[in-house]
Amino acid sequence: MSVDKSKRLDKKIVTNDKNTFANLKTVNGYAPTNKNFEVVKGTPLSSELETKREVEAQAKSAAKAARDNAKESEWQFHDFILGAKRQVAAQFGDDSNEYQSLGLKKKSERKRPGGKGGDNSNGTATS
């Protein structure tokens, strides 16, 4: 099985590793031949993990708050624009150049609804 260290570990694995380390600290007589795996080497790694996960959680929380703030501003601005469009329509009319300049279609340029009955292709009324 290949190990892809560019991806996050599953939360279960991290939790299991933390529990294993807590238990490792209680093992009497633990004296690894490879000194890189002594408990004193793992303690700062464990602390660093906790600190970085805490920073990550705070950053996620800040990102959510920033997203909520941006969403609120989007809606406030959108409501302002909708109100301004209504004010332009009230002041200048919905067939004015000012109304059209806001990206709206003039009333006179809207397509008229066509009915199915009353007129056929040769110009005579149907009954």
- Whether 101 and 90 have beta carbons less than 8 Å apart is answered as no
pLDDT of residue 97: 93
In tens, the pLDDT along 46-92 reads: 999 999 999 999 999 999 999 999 999 999 999 999 999 999 999 99
- Whether 66 and 74 have beta carbons less than 8 Å apart is answered as no
pLDDT of residue 108: 87
> pTM of whole model > 0.85?
no
Q: Outline where the chain has alpha helix (H).
A: 11-24, 39-92, 97-101
Is the per-residue pLDDT at 118 higher than 70? no
- Whether 35 and 41 have beta carbons less than 8 Å apart is answered as yes
Sketch the domain layout of the chain as residue ranges: 11-24+32-107
pLDDT of residue 127: 53
Q: Which amino acid is at 29?
A: G
What value, to the nearest 5°, has the Cα angle with vertex 77 and ends 98 and 89? 25
